[in-house]
Amino acid sequence: MKRELISEAVTLRLVDVRKRVETLDPHHYGELSKFVSGVKNGLVEYSPPAVPEAWLETNGDCLGSLRALSLGKSVSAHEGPQPPVESFLQELRKAALECRPFFDLLGERYRYPLNLSVPAEEAIREFILMRLMVSFRGRIEKGSMAAVDADDLLLLLNLVAVHATMTTDLRFLDALNYYYELLPAAWHPNTNHAWLLACYLGLYTRALGLWR
């Protein structure tokens, strides 16, 4: 792998993403305006988290954990039993077939989002990446942003971004690159969790930092 060429490209992209983050207006994000301001002010150097070797539990929820990770903070967790992968994957596939949102399913499983990087979660990671890069991408490119559930899309992007901060598998970072190029710069989703856009951009800068 020509690491220096990737590093040069990533450095340029990082500058660009920071500029886009600067354009976010915290006032558009209601009670989470403080968090969005935090993302704008918090794009500082940080040490990427370590890949958890086993499943971890946290007392918080997925969205709160994502906000913390996006700001470069750690999330406290303790060891817990790994929930079954295959039956969850079946649920995701069923939801996809029935065009139901993934938001609650994924939010419940990944209350500690770093668990997505646990080795045993590989099949779910691949499924999430595939949904983003085939189904969601296809619908957006054939139609428009309105063709997908924005909260679903943003949650998938955030989870992929969390994994991208910890892996050398470039496909995950490149899914973020692709969506950064695909999403209109001025896009502001009119949804319950619009702040996930700022969260994704914060995590994206951290994932890019891994390759700089």
Partner 1 sequence: MRIGILANSFPAAVRIYDEVRKVAASEVYVLLFPSNHESQARDLMRHLARLILKTGRWKSLRMILAGRVVYFGKVLDDPQSLARLKELNLDLGLHKSGTIYRRGTIECFRLGILNAHIGLLPKYRGRSVMEWSLVQGDPIGISVFFIDEGIDTGQQIVLSEAVDISHCKSLREAKQYLFDLDATFYRRAVEKLNAGIVTYQSNEESGRRYYVMSKLLQHVAQENLAVSDRQSAIGNRQ
Which residues form the interface with partner 1 (CB under 8 A)?
A: 1-2, 5-6, 9-10, 13, 126, 129-130, 133-134, 137, 169-171, 174-175, 177-178, 180-181
Nearer to partner 1 among residue 115 and residue 177 (C-beta)? 177
Cα separation, 39 vs 106, whole angstroms? 23
Nearer to partner 1 among residue 3 and residue 27 (C-beta)? 3
Structure tokens at 170: 């470039």
Q: What's the closest the beta carbon of residue 133 comes to partner 1, in angstroms? A: 4
Report the SS3 class of residue 101: coil
Q: What's the closest the beta carbon of residue 181 comes to partner 1, in angstroms? A: 6
Asked if residues 202 and 70 have their Cβ atoms less than 8 Å apart, the reply is yes
Cα separation, 142 vs 83, whole angstroms? 36
Nearer to partner 1 among residue 10 and residue 197 (C-beta)? 10
Nearer to partner 1 among residue 36 and residue 183 (C-beta)? 183
Asked if residues 162 and 106 have their Cβ atoms less than 8 Å apart, the reply is no
H or E stretch covering 57: strand 56-57
Q: What's the closest the beta carbon of residue 28 comes to partner 1, in angstroms? A: 27
Spell 111-135 as b/e; 16+ CB within 10 A means b.
bbbbbbbbeebeebbebbbebbbee
Question: Across-strand partners of 79?
Answer: 56
Nearer to partner 1 among residue 14 and residue 95 (C-beta)? 14
Q: What's the closest the beta carbon of residue 14 comes to partner 1, in angstroms? A: 11
Cα separation, 167 vs 172, whole angstroms? 8
Asked if residues 121 and 83 have their Cβ atoms less than 8 Å apart, the reply is no
Q: What's the closest the beta carbon of residue 132 comes to partner 1, in angstroms? A: 8
Q: What's the closest the beta carbon of residue 111 comes to partner 1, in angstroms? A: 28
Nearer to partner 1 among residue 25 and residue 126 (C-beta)? 126
Asked if residues 21 and 205 have their Cβ atoms less than 8 Å apart, the reply is yes
